[in-house]
Structure 1
Amino acid sequence: MQSFTTVFAQLLSVVPKYVFVKLSKDHRGKRSPRTFLRWDQFVHLLHIQLAGCKSLRDGIMGMNAAAKRLYHLGVKPVARSTFADANNARPYAFFEALFGELYTRCLSQAPKHKFSFKNKLFSLDASVVDLCLTLFPWAKFRTTKAGIKLHTLLDHDGYLPAMVTVTEAKCHEANIAKLFRLPKGSIVVFDRGYIDHAWFRQLCKSGVFLVTRLKSNARFLVLERNLVDRATGVTSDQIIQVADGEQTLVLRRIGYRDKETGKRFKFLTNHMTLPARTIADIYKDRWQVEIFFRFIKQNLKIKPFLGNSKNAVLSQVYVALIAYLLLAYQKFMSKIGLSLHYLARLMQRNLFQQCEILDLLDLRRQRLKLNNSNRLSLLV
Structure 2
Amino acid sequence: MPHSNTVLNQVVRFFKRHEFETLARKHHVGQQFRSFSRWSQFTAMLVGQLTGRKSLRDLVDNLKVQGHKLYHLGTRDVPRSTLARVNEEQPHQLYKELFHKLLGRCQAIAPKNRFKLDAKLYLLDATVINLCLKVFPWASYQKAKGAIKLHVGLSADGYLPEFFDVTTGKEHEINWARLLKLPTGSFVVFDRGYTDYDWYQALMDSSIFFVARLKDNALVEYFKKRPGRRSQGVLTDQEISLNGIKGSLRLVHFVAEDGNEYRFVTNANHIPAALVAELYKERWQIELFFKWIKQNLKIKAFYGTSENAVLTQIWIALCVYLVLAWLKFMSKITITMQQMLRLLQLNLFERRDLESLFKPTKALPNPQLALL
The question of 1:341 aligning with 2:299 is answered no
The question of 1:250 aligning with 2:255 is answered no
Contact 1:255 1:266 (8 Å CA) reproduced: yes
Which residue number in structure 2 is paired with residue 129 of structure 1? Answer: 129
- Deviations along 1:213-237, whole A, 9 cap, x unmatched? 1101111112331135445211111
Question: TM-score w.r.t. structure 1 length?
Answer: 0.93
Residue type at the aligned position of 1:60: V
Residues 86-97 of structure 1: pairs in structure 2 closer than 5 A: 86-97=86-97
SS in 1 for 2:287: helix
Distance in 1, matches of 2:297 and 2:131, equals: 16
Where structure 1 has 5 or more consecutive residues not aligned to the other structure, the ranges are 372-380
Distance in 2, matches of 1:181 and 1:83, equals: 36
Q: Structure 1 residues 97 and 16 mapped into 2: Cα distance closer, same or farther (>3 Å)?
A: same
Distance in 2, matches of 1:265 and 1:17, equals: 50
Q: How many Å apart are 1:14 and its aligned residue?
A: 1.1
Q: How many Å apart are 1:270 and its aligned residue?
A: 1.0
Distance in 2, matches of 1:91 and 1:249, equals: 46
Residue type at the aligned position of 1:248: K
Distance in 2, matches of 1:363 and 1:334, equals: 13
Contact 2:240 2:251 (8 Å CA) reproduced: yes
Distance in 2, matches of 1:31 and 1:188, equals: 45
Which residue number in structure 2 is paired with residue 220 of structure 1? Answer: 220
Contact 1:185 1:208 (8 Å CA) reproduced: yes
Distance in 1, matches of 2:54 and 2:118, equals: 43
The question of 1:273 aligning with 2:270 is answered yes
The question of 1:289 aligning with 2:289 is answered no
Residues 165-180 of structure 1: pairs in structure 2 closer than 5 A: 165-180=165-180
Range 139-148 or range 214-223, more displaced = 214-223
Range 68-77 or range 348-357, more displaced = 68-77
Q: How many Å apart are 1:17 and its aligned residue?
A: 2.2
SS in 1 for 2:298: coil
SS in 2 for 1:207: coil
Contact 2:249 2:266 (8 Å CA) reproduced: yes
Distance in 1, matches of 2:16 and 2:187, equals: 30
Distance in 2, matches of 1:249 and 1:197, equals: 12
Range 228-237 or range 136-145, more displaced = 228-237
Residue type at the aligned position of 1:276: A
Residues 1-380 of structure 1: pairs in structure 2 closer than 5 A: 1-227=1-227, 229-244=229-244, 248-259=246-257, 261-364=258-361
Residue type at the aligned position of 1:250: S
- Deviations along 1:112-149, whole A, 9 cap, x unmatched? 11111121111010000000011011112111100000
- Deviations along 1:345-366, whole A, 9 cap, x unmatched? 111111111111111111236x
Contact 2:28 2:91 (8 Å CA) reproduced: no
Range 79-88 or range 227-236, more displaced = 227-236
Instruction: Pick the structure with more helix per residue.
Output: 1
Q: Structure 1 residues 65 and 189 mapped into 2: Cα distance closer, same or farther (>3 Å)?
A: same
Distance in 1, matches of 2:85 and 2:250, equals: 54
Which residue number in structure 2 is paired with residue 374 of structure 1? Answer: none
- Deviations along 1:242-298, whole A, 9 cap, x unmatched? 112xx5342111111112x01111111111101111110010010010101001110
Where structure 2 has 5 or more consecutive residues not aligned to the other structure, the ranges are 366-372
Which residue number in structure 2 is paired with residue 375 of structure 1? Answer: none
Which residue number in structure 1 is paired with residue 369 of structure 2? Answer: none
Question: TM-score w.r.t. structure 2 length?
Answer: 0.95
